[in-house]
Amino acid sequence: MAADFDAAEVDPVARVLPLLPVPHLDREFDYLIPRDLDADARPGVRVRVRFAGRLVDGFLLARAATSDHTGKLGRLDRVVSSEQVLTPEIAALAEEVATRYAGTRADVLRLAVPPRHARVEAEAPRTPETPPAPEIEHAAWSRYRHGENFLEALGGGRAPRAAWQALPGEDWPRRLAELAALTLASGKAAVLVVPDQRDLDRLVTACADVAGADHVVGLAAGLGPAERYRRWLAALRGSARIVVGTRAAVFAPTPELGLLVVWDDGDDLHCEPRSPYPHAREVAALRAHAVGAAIVIAGHARTAETQALVDAGWAHDLVAPRDVVRACAPKVTALADSDHALARDPAARAARLPAIAFAAARSALAADRPVLVQVPRRGYVPALACGKCRAPARCRHCNGPLALPTAAGPDGAAIPACRWCGVADARHRCHACGARSLRAVVVGAARTAEELGRAFPGVPVVTSGGNDVKHTVPGSASLVVSTVGAEPVAEGGYGAALLLDGWALLGRADLRATEETMRRWLTASALVRSFADGGQVVVVADSGIPTVQALVRWDPVGHAQSEVSERAEVGFPPAVHMAAIDGSSSAVAELLEATHLPEGAEVLGPVPLPPGQRLPFGSEGPEPEDVHRMIVRVARERGRALGRALRDAQATRTARRADGPLRVQVDPPRIG
């Protein structure tokens, strides 16, 4: 351990984690601390060290008096900043997440710690004022079973864990802000995670109203690097103890964490698209368990994963009694839900807008209330097929799908164009039968708005979706055509909601198709007034489908219980844990050969990649043609062992300098 420079006198050895991309180097390395860096070289600071002849970034995890390394130690090249940005809690969480998701700590820490901004770091931290006493609407919480008990436990500094099912029409940003303010009053911090910027803005506003703006920061990827780092430092230094943000905010380094909240955990925006692909709900659960914090997984719908936590006793239901739900919910009507309705409108099951939908819209508009129309696809006509043989219309240049991007021109004709390469094809012929006629497979939001404008002349038509998402709309009569997930909030609530093209959502070949459809429908229906106030929802789908029946009953918990039961019968998550290994045949076989799988593990496949899944290759070389997916399935209690085994196998593989990049995802959102 001898050095040719003056090392620090006390604990001269620095344990450093270099931020390197290869799994077999995901470990600490020892370096000697020069005397001139002794004061700044504290655990948690950013450092630069020389590794394999080049300078790399890293974090100083700990200091020690001696090293197990028997050779000569290199010196710590530089302390980038004296700010201790990596807290012991987040360092331990990064290790746990890397093990759970078969990744590396370097990848996790890139998600958890934002890039440094020196000018912002030099700014003096602000001292917030004393937070006001929280104003809690106890009447709102008393509508839920054990709602008051939950508030009492949270305010008393205990760590309750709940799955909160928000009532239709509930002011959920205000309710979550009250929980955060109650946690702040108990002397602890709160982290609230939402899927997108629109929800973030609503929740930040509510938290500022309840707890005071000085105590709240919002973290999102859309912020500039300086402002994002400034807000992140406010959370680290404790000057802002309520953090609201999107998925990466679950790693916010707030001291004395008392509450974690994940809103709408079924939204796929909570799933990180970068390695190691963690889900915000799972990270929040790991963190709450590790530090003994309270956690609330909330939403209008419920995922099978959340229901599994309730079934296991790890979390408890925070739901309203059925009579309260019925009093708050709008009337939900499905297609031909009775013999009388079918006799009155025999063509209801074939019509895109049946008579009951027109009647609900006319009733709401007559009462000077807006009508929400939810459609699954944006655009005009996003999918076309042959008018004779029904074969999908394909581009002659790239074989991509053809669509009508705009309405017909003055001559009544519209030119189809490819959705992949953008080439227009005015002389298209079917590749199967040679016919030139085309028909719409699915109708987009723009075409729907056009049709409704003709059906209700004089009524304003508002569209929301794509790059033009509306946050709010007035409470007067209008038709609001929105794609799923882009529904604006109406002042006072919508008078009616029409949920169109249910088959397009339910018919997807995806494990989570029914769960996702239920979530989309409940989110839109929750914006409608209660039945007592004239609110109606018409879902254009067969009334015999279980998901439709659950919506009619407004029973997200029962639907989630059915999902858990059905998946357990066939061995799908959350009853089991699965790992998807994507790559070439040789790369996947090499990884599995190096993996010591847990007892009882099943290897399934190969199967094709799910449609739309990007290829797992980041190199500049040609992509192999035999890309496929292998599935490894283990019992639920062996999920952590599976993650560790795959993590070790990837380290072994990269240590052997194996080529052919591949991707490992534990519990991916799409299995195949």
CATH number (domain holding residue 585): 3.30.70
- Whether 318 and 364 map to the same domain: the answer is no
- At residue 590, the pLDDT reads 92
Structural domain contains residue 567: no
pLDDT the model gives residue 3 = 58
For 34-78, write each residue's pLDDT tens digit. Answer: 999 999 999 999 999 999 889 999 999 999 999 998 888 999 999
* C-beta separation of 207 from 175 below 8 A: no
Q: Do 343 and 249 belong together in one domain?
A: no
Residue 398 in any domain: the answer is no
pLDDT at 85: 97
Collect the ranges in the chain with pLDDT lower than 70: 1-5, 336-351, 407-413, 612, 617-625, 672
Domain boundary among 553, 587, 607: 553
Last residue of a domain, one of 323, 342, 362: 323
* 318 plus 368 within the same structural domain: no
**Among 324, 181, 269, which residue's Cα sits nearest to residue 516?**
269
Residue at token pair 């072994």: 652
Do 256 and 186 sit in the same domain of this protein? Answer: yes
pLDDT for the residue 342 = 42
141 within 8 A of 174, measured Cβ to Cβ: no
Write the CATH number for 370.
3.40.50
Return binding residues. Answer: 386, 389, 395, 398, 418, 421, 430, 433
Read off the pTM: 0.91
Alpha-helical (H) ranges within 238-354 are 280-291, 304-311, 322-328, 339-344
Asked whether residue 369 falls in the same domain as residue 497, the answer is: yes
Last residue of a domain, one of 63, 92, 121: 121
Q: Are 507 and 513 in contact (CB under 8 A)?
A: yes
Q: Is residue 132 part of a domain?
A: no
My answer on whether 484 and 337 are in the same domain is yes
Q: In this structure, are 33 and 69 located in the same domain?
A: yes
pLDDT of residue 339: 43
> Looking at residue 340, what is its pLDDT?
45
Task: Identify whether 204 is part of a domain.
Answer: yes
Contacts 24+ apart (CB under 8 A), 424-429: 425/395, 425/396, 428/393, 428/396, 428/402
**Binding-site residue ranges for Zn(2+):** 386, 389, 395, 398, 418, 421, 430, 433
With respect to residue 33, please indicate whether it lies within any of the assigned structural domains. yes
Residue 408 lies in a domain: no
Q: Give domain status of residue 423, yes or no.
A: no
* Radius of gyration of the CA atoms of the chain, in A: 28
Co-location of 156 and 292 in the same domain: yes
User: Do 504 and 598 belong to one domain?
Assistant: no
Q: Looking at the structure, do residues 280 and 295 belong to the same domain, yes or no?
A: yes
Sign of the CA dihedral 454, 455, 458, 459? negative
Decide: 428 and 402 in contact? Cβ < 8 Å. Answer: yes
**560: nearest Cα among 546, 571, 570:** 546
Strands 461-464 and 479-483: parallel
What pLDDT was estimated at residue 348?
47
Question: Based on the domain organization, do 453 and 545 belong to the same domain?
Answer: yes
> What pLDDT score does 599 carry?
94
Total number of domains in the chain: 4
> What is the domain range of residue 505?
330-379+444-553
Q: What is the pLDDT of residue 45?
A: 97
* 308 and 343 housed in the same domain: no
Given the structure tokens 């360092």, which residue do they identify? 91
Task: Count Cβ neighbours within 10 Å for each residue of 92-128 and write b for 16 or more, e otherwise.
Answer: ebbebbbbbbbbbbbbbbbbbbbebbeebeeeeeeeb
The answer to whether residue 396 sits within a structural domain is no
CATH number at residue 37: 3.40.1440.60
What are the tens digits of pLDDT across the range 454-494? 899 999 999 998 888 999 999 999 999 999 999 999 999 99
Helix 197-211 × helix 172-185 angle, to 10°: 50
- Measure CA 456 to chain center: 37
